[in-house]
Amino acid sequence: MDQLALKAIERIAAEKRAPYQRITVDRITPIIGAEIGGVDLSQPLEDAQLAEIRRAFLENHVLVFRDQHLTVEEHKAFGRLFGELRALPVEDIDGDDPELVVIRANAQSRYVAGETWHTDGTADLAPSMGSMLYVKETPAIGTGGDTLFANMHLAIEMLSPTMQQFLGELTAIHDGAIPWKGYEAPANLPKTEHPVVVRHPETGRKSLFVNSGFTSHIVQLSGGESQVLLNMLFDLVAREPSLSCRVRWAPNTLVFWDNRCTQHHAIWDYFPHSRYGERVTILGTQPKA
């Protein structure tokens, strides 16, 4: 790791944070992720608790709530505290609730969602603000199925000032057909142009906004130049462990991540065993340079 990256990590890790009074916050790494305690999400939250959860979310980008016993309506109610939930056509989901996406893998699965590093739905004009995945069943062997989350604020800060300035002048195409390569893709998948570097709508911090799951090319560059630059940025996320935390799932765990400044990678290392979860997604806004 070079000195520029070390300085960026040191700065983020040293940020002063006020103590929490109504919840407990145990950071998973100095850079990203925190386990949240002292809260029962099946019960109405006090205003002070909700305010601290909001602050922890912006500070840590990924929040892990253990030992939660939620009905679908309680899960959705927690999501609505942060915004309107995305509703999908019933014919596009597994189940009959348009606001709930079932995440399921078992011995019959031939692929699982999220096996590559990605940010959810960036081909949309307004990608989601975040998602809450509530896992009810984990592999019977007692291990496997972890999810990695990477901090895209740190990713941009690891690059030289010259590279940051260059990337800040670029835009990229995000194509909803990319995850369907090799399969019959649905009609009318979105394709959208977004800035390569965006600002978080609540904190104003810069974030790298390209990902291998949906980004096809950079508009201002030739095809070869675009591929070389994107490969460098994708490789940074995949190879640099200091960017990421690893969430180990257990039954009745809910994870809430900020889709505006993270990427994630679901590890499918438990075939032919099963994992089952339910996800709600909170609507977001169009990314701004």
Task: Give tens-digit pLDDT for 171-210.
Answer: 999 999 998 887 777 888 999 999 999 999 999 999 999 9
| Residues noted as catalytic | 118, 120, 264, 279
More confident site: 89 or 37: 37
pLDDT value for 236? 96
pLDDT value for 96? 81
Q: Are 28 and 245 in contact (CB under 8 A)?
A: yes
* Residue range 82-111: mean pLDDT, rounded: 80
Domain 3-282 has CATH 3.40.50.720: no
List, as one string, the DSSP characters of 254-273: EEEEETTSEEEEE----TTS
Neighbours of 199 (CB within 10 A): 17
pLDDT digits (tens, 9 = 90+) for 42-96: 999 999 999 999 999 999 999 999 999 999 999 999 999 999 999 987 556 666 8
Residues belonging to the chain:
289
Measured at the alpha carbon of residue 217, what is the angle toward residues 211 and 222, in degrees to the nearest 5? 145
- In the predicted structure, residue 105 carries a pLDDT above the cut 90: no
pLDDT digits (tens, 9 = 90+) for 260-283: 999 999 998 888 888 899 999 999
pLDDT value for 4? 76
pLDDT value for 222? 98
pLDDT digits (tens, 9 = 90+) for 161-172: 999 999 999 999
More confident site: 259 or 96: 259
- In the predicted structure, residue 132 carries a pLDDT above the cut 90: yes
Q: Structure pTM?
A: 0.94
The upper half-sphere exposure of residue 241, i.e. CA atoms within 13 Å in the direction of its Cβ, equals 1
Residue 280 CA: distances (Å) to CA of 27, 84, 129, 269: 24, 10, 11, 24
pLDDT value for 110? 60
Confidence of residue 288 (pLDDT cuts 50, 70, 90): very high
